[in-house]
Amino acid sequence: MRLQPLGKTALRVPPVCLGTYTLATTWPVDLDRAKAALRHGVDNGLTLVDSAHAYGPAERILGEVFADELRNARDRLIICTKAGLVFDENATVNMFAPNSRPEFLRACAIESLRRLGTDHLDIFLVHWFDPEVPIAEVADAMLSLRNEGLVRHIGVSNYTTAQMDAFRARATIEVIQVPYSLFCRGIEGEILGYAQTHGIGVMGYAGLATGYLSGTFGKEPQFPENDWRHHAVDFTGERYRARVAAAAKLTGFAREKDCTLPELAVAWVAASQIPVVPLVGVQAPAHVDSILRAMTIGLTAAEVQTLRSIAAEAPEMDYLGLVT
């Protein structure tokens, strides 16, 4: 497996990260298949795995699937997890609310270590900006966890550059997570440029645009009631139809490249001029095989731009709308 640096950290990571958001209680999932997918991914060199305290059972499941590595071969895995969101199981749309109080971040870190069954986290991120807590307090709390050796690298997720400036006044940001896909290109320019200037590693989540780039959506939305997208405005009406139409054109391009739409979508993120590690959720071993194929797809600069132009026919996705 080809490894690459993650910003200025000492970590060398695979070109794609395995995501576990689909193990959260907000998604319908076949747990046995999902566990097999994670095992298959790590066994094939995809050893960077992302989770979050707010993803419900996800960290505990990782602890079960990778119990041997986490206890006996810790260096084989790179675990990234996040804290700073509270999940409301009774909500249908705004399911997560920010909470970056220092005591909560510490409690989450300790709980994540317990769930995973390990003595340290490789990467620990503030999951979302909390307007109720001064960023200086948040940064000090994260720095304290790193200084104690509970986490090795710290960073933030879904912060603006101004918010990152405030954080960096107190502590170094080593890694960031941001939404990045053909249907969510807003980080290009300011945020990616900021990361490059300051040597920050970038992980791009929702590389398949929360399913739009999976190639499985019909012309009209049909999500079961236990799928949060059934209730989300971003998956209804004209926005839905426009994205599905653009995805159909992208599927035609994928056929010309002898690959699937998800493979093309992952390859597009990985082809970013400023390095971005795509973060892709997997629910079956076949999804892992698709990721491995995506890593072999070569896209020219002209093809990258053509894909961007096709995607621009649909409205961009607004992930900030998922948080109250």
Per-residue pLDDT at 324? 29
**Angle CA(37)–CA(275)–CA(168) in degrees, nearest 5?**
105
Answer whether residue 219 is part of any domain.
no
Could you give the count of Cα atoms lying within 13 Å of 106 in the half-sphere of its Cβ? Answer: 13
| DSSP labels, 269-299 | HHT-SS--EEEEE-SSHHHHHHHHHHTT---
Q: For 60, what's the count of Cα atoms within 13 Å in the CB-facing half-sphere?
A: 8
Instruction: Give residue 285's Cα distance to chain centre.
Output: 19
Residue 321: what pLDDT? 46
What 61-65 contacts at long range (C-beta under 8 Å, 24+ apart), as own/partner pairs, is 61/20, 61/23, 61/31, 61/34, 61/35, 62/20, 62/38, 62/115, 62/116, 63/115, 63/116, 63/117, 63/118, 64/35, 65/35, 65/38, 65/39
User: Measured between alpha carbons, how far is 312 from 316 in angstroms, rounded to an integer?
Assistant: 8
Alpha-carbon gap, residue 182 to 250, rounded angstroms: 10
Q: In the numeric block, which tokens belong to residue 171?
A: 């502590």
The pTM score is 0.92
For every residue of 255-269, DSSP letters joined together read HHTTS-HHHHHHHHH
What string of pLDDT tens digits covers the 324 residues of the chain?
899 999 999 999 999 999 999 887 666 789 999 999 999 999 999 999 999 999 989 999 999 999 999 999 999 999 999 999 997 665 555 678 899 999 999 999 999 999 999 999 999 999 999 999 999 999 999 999 999 999 999 999 999 999 999 999 999 999 999 999 999 998 898 999 999 999 999 999 999 998 899 888 888 888 887 777 877 878 888 999 999 999 999 999 999 999 999 999 999 999 998 999 999 999 999 999 999 999 999 999 999 999 999 999 999 987 754 332
Question: Considering the domain boundaries, does residue 162 fall inside one?
Answer: yes
pLDDT for 26 equals 64
**What is the 8-class DSSP label of residue 90?**
T
Q: Is position 204 within any domain?
A: yes
In this prediction, residue 323 carries a pLDDT of 34
Q: According to the model, what pLDDT value does residue 234 have? A: 82
Count of the separate structural domains present in the chain: 1
User: Kind of pairing, strands 4-5 and 12-13?
Assistant: antiparallel
Domain range for 91: 4-211+264-297
Q: What CATH code is carried by the domain that includes residue 184? A: 3.20.20.100
Per-residue confidence (pLDDT) for residue 123, from 0 to 100: 98
**Residue whose pair of structure tokens reads 């001064």 in the numeric block:** 134
Cα–Cα distance, 275 to 254 (Å, whole number): 22
Helices of type H across the chain: 31-43, 58-65, 67-72, 102-116, 135-147, 161-168, 190-198, 237-256, 261-270, 285-294, 301-311
Decide if 307 is inside a domain. Answer: no
The answer as to whether 309 is a domain residue is: no
Q: Residues 129, 320, 50, 204: is their CA dihedral positive or negative?
A: negative
Q: Are 200 and 155 in contact (CB under 8 A)?
A: yes
* Residue 104 maps to a domain: yes
What is the structure's pLDDT at 105?
A: 98
In one-letter notation, the amino acid at residue 301 is A
For residue 187, being part of any structural domain is answered with yes
Q: Is residue 173 part of a domain?
A: yes
